[in-house]
Amino acid sequence: MKEAHRVIAIDGPAASGKSSVARELAQRLGFLYVNSGAMYRAITWHVLQHGVDPDDGARIAQTVESARITCCLENNQSRILIDDVDPTDHLRDDRVNEGVSRVSSVPRVREILVAKMRSYARHHDLVMEGRDIGSFVFPDTAYKFYIDASPEVRLHRRAAQGQRDEIAARDRADSSRRASPLVIAEDAHVIDSSNFTIESVVGEIIGRLKMKGLAI
Ligand code: DC
């Protein structure tokens, strides 16, 4: 089914710069910004708070099914509440970084969150970033980008953010899981951001969108 509104998909591995690019792009276009990784992180935080082992797929599925997940908007950005709790301040905790690839590989978690992601496009033009947005969540959109950067640059970016994040291990897990792994969608435009500023990557994307006829 084709989405009701325009969707720009920005996928890529951890610390590739896609969040900064997607946020800036959404702001420039006046589109809603949705960080799908934050949704998986929120669920991960919730299951860890409930003492669930991130390798126990069945219990994770059960815990997520019984949670009340509310997706809302604030300043033109998506926000997720779980059982009325806002986990925003915990999304980058070490234990969330460590568990998120395992929790997000549980098919039921993906099913529930993908339905929420798609529902954003019923009412809004949006820029959504993630791992499988162009390949799985919105395969019909004509606007797909894959942002990459060299492993050295990505490690440096995370270190500069003061975070402990095993990005190589997460990339391996995200790319090899069975349920909609990280892949470059066939029709995605690939940009290596290693040597470019956010502004120039956003500029390249906007140029490309215009070439494709997106009225912006
Ligand atoms: O973008 P991020 O690093 O905040 O994402 C955190 C994790 O969430 C990532 O390691 C895998 C998962 N994820 C996913 O499986 N699918 C998405 N569309 C986005 C994120």
pLDDT of residue 86: 96
Q: Is 100 in the pocket of ligand 1 (CB under 6 A)?
A: yes
Reported CATH class of domain 7-211: alpha beta
Q: Is 132 in the pocket of ligand 1 (CB under 6 A)?
A: yes
Q: What is the pLDDT of residues 52-67, one digit of tens each?
A: 999 999 999 999 999 9
Per-residue burial over 113-131, b if 16 or more Cβ lie within 10 Å, else e, is bbebbeebbeebbbbbbbb
Type of residue found at 214: L
Determine the Cα–Cα distance for residues 108 and 125; give it in Å rounded to an integer: 26
Q: Is 165 in the pocket of ligand 1 (CB under 6 A)?
A: no
Q: Residue 1: pLDDT above 80? A: no
Highest mean pLDDT out of 21-30, 157-166, 174-183: 21-30
Ligand 1 centroid to Cα of residue 189, in Å, is: 20
Q: Is 31 in the pocket of ligand 1 (CB under 6 A)?
A: no
Determine the Cα–Cα distance for residues 63 and 127; give it in Å rounded to an integer: 29
| 143-148 and 77-82 beta bridge pairing | unpaired
Question: Domain segments of the chain: what residues?
Answer: 7-211
Ligand 1 centroid to Cα of residue 101, in Å, is: 7
- Taking the whole predicted model, whether its pTM rises above 0.75 is answered as yes
Determine the Cα–Cα distance for residues 209 and 29; give it in Å rounded to an integer: 11
pLDDT of residue 2: 61
Q: Is 180 in the pocket of ligand 1 (CB under 6 A)?
A: no
Ligand 1 centroid to Cα of residue 79, in Å, is: 15
Nearest CA to ligand 1 atom 20: 37
